[in-house]
Amino acid sequence: MASVPKRAGMNDLEDIVGMSHVSIRKHLRKAKIVKGKDGRYDVELVLATIKRHQEESAGGSDDSARSRKTKLECDLLQVKLDQLRGELVPVGEVEDMLREMCDVFKGALELYVQYVATETADPAQVKQAEQIRDRTRSQVVSMVGELISDAEE
């Protein structure tokens, strides 16, 4: 999911919210939300307002198709709000960051083995450094794999 801007014009709001400008304007009028001096709206305020209006219109525990649709739209708006507030990061971004960190860590482990090899003439110490490298690498790969699988659940 793309990043949600803090402020947006009507065309961008249509894309963010997934509603027509007519529907968005109804919500804006109802909540008396106006454009800022920059001609754009506070996206977090707009999303929270539309979500609140939709929850109010959904009513109680009606299990109709319209009610379920409205609840799903509210959930989608909540995800966008969480992303806007920085409480939600796309899994792909986290995976990229973890891969980059693993590459850096892998390089550091290789440098460690090279350092031990150049500082000592003892093959046993070099072998021990390689074992530490391999064991540490497998533990990191395992932990990262767990993080990614947890994020996908």
- Domain residues for 25? 7-84
Asked whether residue 49 falls in the same domain as residue 98, the answer is: no
Q: Are strands 7-8 and 41-42 parallel, antiparallel or unpaired?
A: antiparallel
Asked whether residue 38 falls in the same domain as residue 101, the answer is: no
Mark which of 25, 53, 84 sits at the end of a domain: 84
Asked whether residue 15 falls in the same domain as residue 73, the answer is: yes
pLDDT tens, residue by residue, 83-133: 777 777 777 887 888 888 888 888 999 999 999 999 988 999 999 999 999
| DSSP β-bridge partners for residue 8 | 41
**Whole-number Cα distances in Å, 52 to 7, 55, 71, 96:** 19, 5, 11, 35
Q: Is the pTM of this model over 0.95?
A: no
Query: How many other CB atoms are found less than 10 A from the CB of residue 50?
Result: 24
The total number of structural domains in the chain stands at 2
Residue 145 lies in a domain: yes
Residue 43 lies in a domain: yes
